[in-house]
Amino acid sequence: MSGRIHVYTGDGKGKTTAAVGLSVRALGAGLRVFFAQFIKAAESSEFAALEAFGGRFCLRRFGMGFIRSAPSQADIDAARAGLTETRDAMLSHSYDIVVLDEINVAVSLGLISSGAIAGLIKDRPEDIELVLTGRGASEEIIAAADLVTELKEIKHYYRNGTKARKGIEY
């Protein structure tokens, strides 16, 4: 199988959900998935279901939680350690799909350099499907991708005060 590079970006809801959906499809086909979450630290319901796939699905979180102001050194260290571990997972050929969830946000916040992601993309083995999510994908990342989907918010109930609901938003 020849792998491709996917980017899910934009201000709309659903970037992580798209990556999770692709992961479910891949797992259903017998493929192996490494899912790295950058920035996010909270549990989310979809991963409880995915972890039932056992050794074919690996979730790793490399975040201290959402960053509301300038990132701390702990945020930077977590992201960089995550990138190293994700690169190692990709190069190990133990997985068919490698997801870097919220990596575009990590780049825009300066946790990881755009050049480091460009290097990861360049070093990607040909048979690995690589998925990068998060708002604000850089032009460099978009140019390197084979598929780019921009999710655009038209209307969101969050704006009317609806809080995140278990099983729907987390």
Neighbouring residues of 16: CB distance < 8 A, sequence distance ≥ 6: 8, 44, 101, 102, 133
From residue 52, how far is each of 62, 69, 89, 128, 142 by CA, in Å? Answer: 21, 36, 20, 22, 33
Q: What angle do CA 28, 34, 35 make, to 5 degrees?
A: 95
**Residue 112 belongs to some domain of the structure:** yes
Higher pLDDT, 169 or 61: 61
For residue 166, being part of any structural domain is answered with no
At residue 105, does pLDDT exceed 80? Answer: yes
Could you tell me the pTM of the whole model?
Answer: 0.89
CATH number reported for the structural domain that contains residue 113 in this entry: 3.40.50.300
Tell me what pLDDT residue 28 has: 93
For 19-37, what is each residue's pLDDT tens digit?
999 999 999 999 999 999 9
Answer whether residue 169 is part of any domain. no
What's the domain range around 26? 5-160
Q: What is the pLDDT of residue 40?
A: 67
- Phi/psi-derived region of residue 10, left when phi > 0, alpha when psi is between -120 and 50, beta in every other case: left
Q: Has residue 90 been placed in a domain? A: yes
Decide if pLDDT at 106 tops 80. Answer: yes
Residue 168 lies in a domain: no
* 34-59 CB burial, b ≥16 within 10 A, e <16: bbbbbbbeeebebbeebeebeebbbb
| 87 domain residue, yes or no | yes
Domain total for the chain?
Answer: 1
Looking at the chain, the whole-number percentage of residues with pLDDT higher than 90 is 69
